Amino acid sequence: MDKSSIIFTCILFFALGLFSYNLWKIVRNIRLGKSKNRFDQPLKRTKILLKIAFGQTKLFARPASGILHALVYWGFLVITIGTVEMMVDGIFSLDRSFGVLGSFYDMATASGDVMAVLVLVSCLIFMFRRLFLKIKRLSGKEMKKASSIDAIIALVIIMFLMISLLTMNIGYIGLHPENYFGSFPISNFLYSFIANWDAQSMEILHDISWWTHIMLVLIFLNELPYSKHFHVVMSIPNVYFSNIENLGKMDNMPSVTKEVKLMMDPNADPYATPAADASSPESFGAKDVTDLNWVQLMNAYSCTECGRCTSECPANQTGKLLSPRKIMMDTRQRMKEVGKNIDKHGKDYTDNKSLLNDYISTEELWACTTCNACTQACPLNIDPLSIIVDLRRHLVMEQSFAPTELNMMFNNIENNGAPWQFPAADRLKWKDE
């Protein structure tokens, strides 16, 4: 190993170590949630993963932005092969070590060369949209200036990644004009404009581009855990573990279901042994992030803040306070706060704050119509509704707090066995009229 390889290896392992540490903290935060079985039906989940995560099919509901985003995502998948090769080359002082793969390498490098241009163009369009078109769904009371800056920084890094990749390929071709590994249709065309450069200039171009590209990769990798763009990492597991049941189906609490059956069924045996999963829970619903399940917390880390959920929400469209995007952003922010408290004070520390009320207001929760438009619109199958329902469940069952109309219905069910305010004996009087 030469001096440059030693330097690169130290930088690489430091960057990967830092990313692993931040990833571990995020996994720790997600594991604060309660257990949830999402390991069933692996074949069905894999099909959904290929269709939605890799195929990006839900994005095409908005064709223009959807196609551009899909190109960026697919481009990253293809270019990742070259990134891995660069890491191997940097550690072992090699040059195009994957060239031994023959025709597959030609296909991979050609795809990466073309995708670099497509990604670059897509990012330029995204930058123009964000700076000049003022897309409505990219704004909102929950969207702070830092979020917009975060998006712009990511776009700039990606654009420089694509430019450095192309210039690196041009320099590589210039150093080996007659004998090089791979296929570079775009870089070959661009190389024709500087084909008269001498070997030393080509080497400088290649080396600067190589180091710029790999350093930007490592910087971007370690920026992700602090950014909304962490969905680059979280999108695949989030889609795989997403809800594959009908969207209208809600989870019932076994202990509550048992009590309702006893109340509604006159022949039920109140002394029957309860099912194993029907034991009384410590609390009903969710007040803080530790009351949610791990899938819901993973959803929060996967949110891209794209606003598709909020733009489809009928409550938000009619001027209500509810924004499904804000629900996910607040959950993520509270989870990070709880994680920092654990790091600083230990796992038993309490700051006397909670997700409910301190982050999400009751007005937001009761504005929800449970229509599932937000979940349907989300390109990553994030489910804001499940969090809303659990928070509302806590309000009703733990705090006896609900709108007047719901409280009237609850009283009628308890007293009359039906939502109406008529006793059972009077229900059929209408037929005598």
Q: What is the pLDDT of residue 272?
A: 62
Query: What CATH number does residue 20 fall under?
Result: 1.20.950
User: Do 200 and 277 reside in the same domain of the chain?
Assistant: no
Residues of the chain with pLDDT under 50: none
User: Do 20 and 103 reside in the same domain of the chain?
Assistant: yes
User: Do 267 and 354 reside in the same domain of the chain?
Assistant: yes
pLDDT in tens, 309-339: 999 999 999 999 999 999 999 999 999 999 9
Range of the domain at 291: 254-416
User: Do 183 and 312 reside in the same domain of the chain?
Assistant: no
Q: Is 111 part of a structural domain of the chain?
A: yes
When divided into structural domains, the chain yields a total of: 2
User: Do 273 and 127 reside in the same domain of the chain?
Assistant: no
Write down the pTM of the prediction.
0.90
Q: Is 391 part of a structural domain of the chain?
A: yes
User: Do 96 and 166 reside in the same domain of the chain?
Assistant: yes
Query: What CATH number does residue 366 fall under?
Result: 1.10.1060
Q: Is 428 part of a structural domain of the chain?
A: no
List the Cα angle 144/149/151 in 5-degree steps: 100
pLDDT in tens, 9-64: 999 999 999 999 999 999 999 999 999 999 999 999 999 999 999 999 999 999 99
Q: Which two tokens stand for residue 145?
A: 């200036």
Q: Is 310 part of a structural domain of the chain?
A: yes
* Alpha carbons 45 and 241: distance in angstroms, whole number: 7
User: Do 275 and 186 reside in the same domain of the chain?
Assistant: no
**Where among 240, 275, 297 does a domain terminate?**
240
User: Do 301 and 361 reside in the same domain of the chain?
Assistant: yes
**Beta-carbon count within 10 A of 266 CB:** 7
Q: Is 37 part of a structural domain of the chain?
A: no
Q: Is 245 part of a structural domain of the chain?
A: no
User: Do 151 and 7 reside in the same domain of the chain?
Assistant: yes
Q: Is 153 part of a structural domain of the chain?
A: yes
User: Do 203 and 346 reside in the same domain of the chain?
Assistant: no
User: Do 198 and 269 reside in the same domain of the chain?
Assistant: no
What is the DSSP code (8-state) at residue 177? S
79-87: long-range contacts, CB 8 A cutoff, minimum separation 24: 79/112, 79/115, 79/116, 79/119, 79/161, 79/165, 81/108, 81/112, 82/108, 82/109, 82/112, 82/165, 83/214, 83/217, 86/210, 86/213, 86/214, 86/217, 87/12, 87/214
* Alpha carbons 299 and 241: distance in angstroms, whole number: 10
Q: Is 386 part of a structural domain of the chain?
A: yes
User: Do 313 and 382 reside in the same domain of the chain?
Assistant: yes
- Whether the CB-CB separation of 216 and 164 falls below 8 Å is answered with yes
Pick from 380, 344, 336, 365: nearest CA to 32: 336
Q: What is the pLDDT of residue 396?
A: 92
